[in-house]
Amino acid sequence: MRSPIDDEIRQIFDQCSGIVEGEVATYIPELAAADPTAHGLCVMSVEGHSYAYGAVDVPFTVQSISKVFAYALALETHGFETVDELIDVEPSGEAFNELSLDARTHRPRNPMINAGAITASSLLPGDGPEQQVTALLDYLAGFVDHPLTVDDRVYASEASTGHRNRAIAYLLRSVDVLRTDPMAAVDVYFRQCSVQVTARDLALMAATLANGGVQPTTGKLLVSRAVLRRVLSVMAGCGMYDGAGHWLTEVGLPAKSGVSGGILAVLPSQFGVASFAPPLNEHGNSVRGVAAFRSLSEHYGSHLFEPRLGRLHTVRHRTTDVDDPGTVRYALQGDLDVAGTESVLWQLTSEPPSTRRVVVDLGATDRVSAHAGELLAEMSRRYLVDGRTLEVVDPQELLTGIPDVTRLT
Ligand SMILES: NC(=O)CC[C@H](N)C(=O)O
C-alpha cells in the first residue's frame, strides 16, 4: 500500500516538472551538456525512509554543495579557532564567485562563497592536493555509504576555464589567508566540485545533517555537535548566496545549492531533502529545485520559524496522595526541555504545595536535557533549605549522573 505522504510529494514533484524557466550553467563548458529536462527529488527521513521521484540515480557533479562538507571537515580537523581566523560566517549578499574579502580582516565573508570555500579546501587534512581530495572523498563516502569518484571531464573543463577562481586564490594568498600554494588550493577545490553524486546521495547527506550528524542507515557519527550547529547556521545564512534572504523567508531551512542543479536542505531532527534540476535562476540556484522546496515547506509547514505543534502540558496532573495526605505528586509528560522545565519550576515555586513532601514523577517523561536535570537538583536543594523534601521517581533513569536528587524507587 502507498503512504499518502508518497502521493503528496509526488504531486509536488510533478507540478515542478512542468517548470521550464532557467538556464543551464555554461561557464564550465562541460556543464552545458547537462539535460535541462533532468529532474529528481528525494526526501529522506532521519529513520532512513526515502521517497524518491524521477532522476534520483542520475549522476551529476556536486559543485558548491561540496563546500558544506569541506568546511565541516576543516572544522573537525583544525577546530574553530584556527578556521575562524581565516573564514568568517557573515552572509555576503554577493554572488558566489565575487572577488571580495572583508575590508578590515581580509577574511572571506563565509565558507559558502568561492573565496571562503577555496580557503576551506586549503585546510582539508592531508599533505598536498592528492591526499586532501582523498580525505574529502573518504569523508563524503561515509555520508552516502559507498565510494565516490571525481568526474574527470568536468574537473578538466573547470580547470581549463576557472581563471576567476584562480584570481580569488591569488587574492587570498596576497593577504595571507591562504597560507599554501594558491594553485594547489584551487586544484583541490575544482576536484571537490567535480565529485559525482546523485540526488539520492545528497538526500542521505542531508538526512545525516538532519539526524544530529549520525548517518541514518549506518548509525555512524560523522559530524560532531558543535560543527553541525555551525554548518547548519552558515547554510541558513549563506547557502543560497544572494538568494539567501528570500530562501530563508520562503523556505526557511538551512540549504546549499550547486551550479549543476543540485540543492540539499535540512529540516533538523526530521528530514533531509535533495533535488536535481539543471536550469538555474539568476543567483545560480536550480529553478525547479527552489520551487519544489517552497511547495514542500508550505505544504508541510516545515519552515523553521513556523510555530511548532502545541506542546503537551509538562505537568500532566498534580495530586495529593490518598494514603499520605502530606505528599503532593506531580506527574510529568513530554520533554523536559527549557520550556517544560520552566513550567514545572514555575508551579513548584509560584504555586507551591502546602505539604512538606513533593514527589516529581518522570515515569511518562520522554527526554530530560542535561541542564533540566541540574535545575531539578537545585530545586530539591532549595526545598530542603525550606524544610521540605523534593523526591523524583525516575524509572527510565533519565537523571543518571545528576547528583543531589533523591530518587524514589
Ligand atoms: N555555485 C557553484 O556551484 C559554483 C561551483 C563552481 N565549481 C565554481 O566555482 O564556479
Give the whole-angstrom CA distance, residue 269 versus residue 225: 13
Query: Among 65, 317, 327, which residue's Cα sits nearest to residue 195?
Result: 65
Geometric angle at alpha carbon 260, from 259 and 262, rounded to 5°: 90
CA 191 from chain centre, in angstroms, equals: 23
Hey, whose CA ends up nearest to atom 10 of ligand 1? 97
**pLDDT per residue as tens, the chain (409 positions):** 999 999 999 999 999 999 999 999 999 999 999 999 999 999 999 999 999 999 999 999 999 999 999 999 999 999 999 999 999 999 988 888 988 899 899 999 999 999 999 999 999 999 999 999 999 999 999 999 999 999 999 999 999 999 999 999 999 999 999 999 999 999 999 999 999 999 999 999 999 999 999 999 999 999 999 999 999 999 999 999 888 899 999 999 999 999 999 999 999 999 999 999 999 999 999 999 999 999 999 999 999 998 877 778 999 999 998 888 899 999 999 999 999 999 999 999 998 888 989 999 999 999 999 899 999 999 999 999 999 999 999 999 998 888 878 887 6
Q: Which CATH class is domain 315-408?
A: alpha beta
Q: Using one digit for the tens of pLDDT, what is the confidence trace for 262-287?
A: 999 999 999 999 999 999 999 999 99
The structure's pTM equals 0.91
Give the whole-angstrom CA distance, residue 236 versus residue 254: 4
Query: Domain residue spans in the chain?
Result: 4-300, 315-408
Closest ligand 1 atom to 114 CA: 9
Classify residue 242 by its DSSP letter: G
Residues whose beta carbon lies within 6 Å of some atom of ligand 1? 63-64, 96-97, 114, 158, 165, 193, 258-259, 284
Q: φ and ψ at 251, to 5 degrees? A: -105, -45
Residue ranges of the alpha helices (H) in 211-324?
A: 225-238, 244-250, 287-300
- Span from the CA of 64 to the centroid of ligand 1 (angstroms): 5
Q: Using one digit for the tens of pLDDT, what is the confidence trace for 17-54?
A: 999 999 999 999 999 999 999 999 999 999 999 999 99
- Span from the CA of 361 to the centroid of ligand 1 (angstroms): 55
Give the whole-angstrom CA distance, residue 381 versus residue 360: 14
Q: φ and ψ at 391, to 5 degrees? A: -120, 155
Query: Among 61, 90, 405, which residue's Cα sits nearest to residue 262?
Result: 61
**Strands 50-54 vs 40-45: parallel, antiparallel or unpaired:** antiparallel
**Strands 389-393 vs 357-368: parallel, antiparallel or unpaired:** parallel
Domain covering 4-300 in this structure, CATH number = 3.40.710.10
